[in-house]
Amino acid sequence: MAGLFPVTTTAVRCLLCGRTADCSSSQFLRYSRNGFPWCCGEAMTAWPPPGSPGDSSPGAGVDKRLFPKRPARHGAQLELRRGSSGFGPNLGVELVDVSGDGLCAHIKESVPPGDEVEVAVGRPLGGRLHRRHARVRWCRPVWGTRSLVEVHFSRRLALVELNEVAQ
């Protein structure tokens, strides 16, 4: 009877240093209820086991958003700055899609996964910008020096704010 239900293993990974720790399904269930282990001052995240088809650079091609993605309105305002202070050059070029807990955008230069950024989004023809602190999930080059980045907000966008920037 013990062989009827194989124990599946998964892993948890630190998005800052890339350290991966295997865990059994029962450990993973316990982590999901009580919180994931910490590494480099941040909670580790669920990850496919090393060597699986989904194992690649942190978050590359993996859809982790809890809310549905919505395409951005044409011309929606975007500011993306490194660090939580909001100072520094605006790296944002164009908003691709947005959801309540994150967004995907074209930026001027690469930002390492795990870095903290400040994002501001707003309606196409001006108006108030909605600022959020966010953490980079993944970033990959697309053309020339430009990159495509996905970030996860520390605080969700309200439905009204989301409707201003999404179709």
**DSSP output for 35-69:** ---EETTEE-EEEPPTTSTT-SSTTTT----SS--
Q: Which residue has the higher pLDDT, 135 or 15?
A: 135
Query: For residue 61, what are the contacts with CB-CB under 8 A and spacing of at least 6?
Result: 54, 138
Region(s) of the chain under CATH 2.40.10.220? 70-165
Is the domain spanning 70-165 CATH 2.70.98.60? The answer is: no
The torsion angles phi and psi of 165, rounded to 5 degrees, stand at -110, -15
- Mean of pLDDT values over 15-20: 79
153-159 average pLDDT score = 90
- Which DSSP helix (H) or strand (E) runs through 28? helix 25-34
| pLDDT of amino acid 64 | 63
Q: Which residues, in sequence order, are bridge partners of residue 12?
A: 21, 46
Task: Give the confidence band of 80 by pLDDT, cuts at 50, 70, 90.
Answer: very high
End-to-end CA distance of the chain: 52
For the cut 50, the answer to whether the pLDDT of residue 125 exceeds it is: yes
Which of 52 and 82 is assigned the larger pLDDT? Answer: 82
More confident call, 142 vs 51: 142
The 10s digit of each residue's pLDDT in 36-56 is: 888 877 788 877 644 455 444
Q: What gap in Å lies between CA 36 and CA 71, rounded to an integer?
A: 31
Residue 150 has pLDDT above 90, yes or no: yes
Res. 77 pLDDT band, cuts 50 70 90: very high
User: Coil, strand or helix: which one is 153?
Assistant: strand
Q: DSSP character for 100?
A: T
Q: What is the mean pLDDT of the chain?
A: 81
